[in-house]
Amino acid sequence: MMNETKITVFIYLPGKTRAVPAGIFTHDNKLGIGSFNYGRKYIERKNALPVDPIALPLGRQTKEVITNGGLYGTFRDSAPDYWGRLVIAAEKRVPPEALSEIDFLLNANATRVGNLDFRSRPDDLEPLPGPPHFSQMENILEAAYKIERGETVSQHLLNLLNQGTSLGGARPKSTVEWKSELWIAKFSARNDTLSIPRIEYASMTLAKHCGIRIPELHLESIGKSKILLVRRFDRERSAESWERSGFLSALSLMQWDEADRLSWSYGKIADKMRRFVPMKDLHELFRRMAYNILVRNTDDHPRNHGFIFDSKMIQLAPAYDIVPTLAKPGVGTQFYMAMSVGEHGRVGTLANATTWAFRFGLELEQAMLIIKELVDTVSQWKDIFTSAGCTNSEIKALEPSFAALHEWEIC
């Protein structure tokens, strides 16, 4: 069929720094339907891993996928999101809508999330692991700001930014090498009135104080700009290059479509997790859900929760992308999360969260103790945010986002 495109899916197996072909992905861009078949030689490997442990188990006849434009979960997770698509489109000198899902998948990039790669043919060359170094951050910022303004960017700067861009999210970012490790460098958008990198650093630091696992973080300065550096948890340095772990978002774990917003639910994720992860991960997901309510992080959609996997297990990845949603004082205190948190749906209250404690393997008393611990720690948020470098004006702007602290009535 004229609308069909076939590409080869490669995978980086545990302990390896070069990918091997795993199978063929066929995609109908017009209908938004995809299908995948494992290669016989790949299945015969003793160390073979599924390219998607949920949607594409090894040795089974695969089924077509129509969710998310015809992409299986880990394929969608490996593809660039809004910001990455802007960068790729700018490099190709076309608008993003002129490119297909396959165009974005095939954009050669060794820094894409997870352990997959996508190539036109089985004998295509390995993408060079050449992310920009943090020392080139000024050039990266220049390219990013020009892309945001819709200005022409030199090919040199585009190449630099593109080599570090194949990541999810809408805000500007780039993978960089720093201190012999890979980091996601997050920086302010052009129209930001507050330092979002600094606020995210503070929010993640507060999460760590609350017993939530986070990646290693650093807050650095380039001129007047603050850069948040988040260590890549899907990469480990080896003698030759970087070894990769598989990555699966909660959206992919559930095989949800991006448009299935009414189905999104922490409880459903917890139900599914019971089949794959240790109980401590279920408890931590409850802790993260309650923390998101306390700091009013309403961008807690299922792509902002993830899992890493290898040949032995699937486990909850460190938390990421936690930023309070700004609220206007005096407008009202009720707010809604991106996913249902309890019997009252998406209503962002701790009382609502406790109604589903059992789905996370918790007795009500255990859930109450976790929440009390969180409230006691989050009540010190101003001190922690100030220590992280937040200004008085930023603290004042964030005060309405912590209103849930004053409405805690369930003890």
Question: For residue range 292-318, what is the model confidence (pLDDT) as tens digits?
Answer: 999 999 999 999 999 999 877 899 999
Query: Residue 24 pLDDT > 70, yes or no?
Result: yes
Taking residues 252-279, report their average pLDDT.
Answer: 95
* Pairing status of strand 306-309 against strand 314-316: antiparallel
Residue 409 in this model has a pLDDT that exceeds 70:
no
Regarding predicted confidence, which is higher, 223 or 166?
223
Distance CA 269, CA 251 (A): 9
- Residue 23 and residue 122 in contact, taking contact as beta carbons nearer than 8 Å: no
* Confidence check: pLDDT of 96 > 50: yes
Which is more confident, 411 or 151?
A: 151
Q: Decide the pairing of beta strands 4-11 and 116-119.
A: antiparallel
- 169 closest CA partner among 245, 92, 238, 77: 77
163 backbone dihedrals φ, ψ, rounded to 5°: -65, -15
Ranges of CATH 1.10.1070 domains, the chain: 237-407
C-alpha distances out from residue 81 to 89, 226, 313, Å: 12, 23, 27
- What pTM was computed for the model? 0.93
pLDDT, mean over the chain: 90
- The band of 168, judged by pLDDT with boundaries at 50, 70 and 90, is low
pLDDT classification of 165: cutoffs 50, 70, 90:
low
Strand blocks (E) in 181-287? 181-186, 217-222, 225-231, 235-237, 242-244, 246-249
Find out whether 130 and 110 touch, Cβ atoms under 8 Å. yes
Beta-bridge partners for 36: 25
Segment 81-102 shows an average pLDDT of 86
Closest CA to 79 of 114, 125, 49, 45: 114
pLDDT reported for residue 246: 96
Could you give the residue range(s) of every CATH 3.30.200.120 domain in the chain? Answer: 134-231
- The answer, yes or no, to whether residue 110 has pLDDT greater than 60, is yes
Instruction: Look at domain 134-231 and name its CATH class.
Output: alpha beta
- Residue with the bigger pLDDT between 340 and 137: it is 340
Q: Is the predicted pLDDT of residue 92 greater than 50, yes or no?
A: yes
Q: Which fold has domain 237-407?
A: 1.10.1070
* 26-68 pLDDT, tens digit each: 999 889 999 999 999 999 999 999 999 999 999 867 789 999 9
Task: Tell me how far apart the alpha carbons of residues 228 and 86 are, in angstroms, rounded to a whole number.
Answer: 21
pLDDT given for residue 87 in this prediction: 84
Q: What was the pLDDT predicted at 411?
A: 42
Average pLDDT over residues 86-100: 86
The answer, yes or no, to whether residue 71 has pLDDT greater than 80, is yes
Angle, helices 137-149/155-162, rounded to nearest 10 degrees: 110
Alpha-helical segments (H) within 172-278? 196-209, 250-254, 266-273
Contacts of 379 (CB under 8 A, 6+ apart): 405
DSSP assignment string, 53-108? TTTB-TTS----B-GGGT--HHHHHHS--HHHHHHHHHHHTS-GGGS-HHHHHHS-
Residue 410 has pLDDT above 50, yes or no: no
- Assess contact for 111 and 87: CB atoms under 8 A: no
pLDDT (0 to 100) of residue 403: 80
Structure tokens at 107: 């954009």
Percent of the chain at pLDDT above 90? Answer: 67
331: pLDDT confidence band, cut at 50, 70 and 90? low
pLDDT, one tens digit per residue, over 359-390 is: 999 999 999 999 999 999 999 999 999 999 99
In one letter, which amino acid is 348?
A: G
The lowest-confidence range among 160-174, 186-200, 224-238, 347-361 is: 160-174
d(CA 283, CA 31): 40
**Residue whose entry in the numeric block shows the structure tokens 């945010």:** 385
Q: Are 324 and 384 in contact (CB under 8 A)?
A: no
Judged against a pLDDT cut of 70, whether residue 408 lies above it is answered with: no
Beta-bridge mates of residue 5: 27
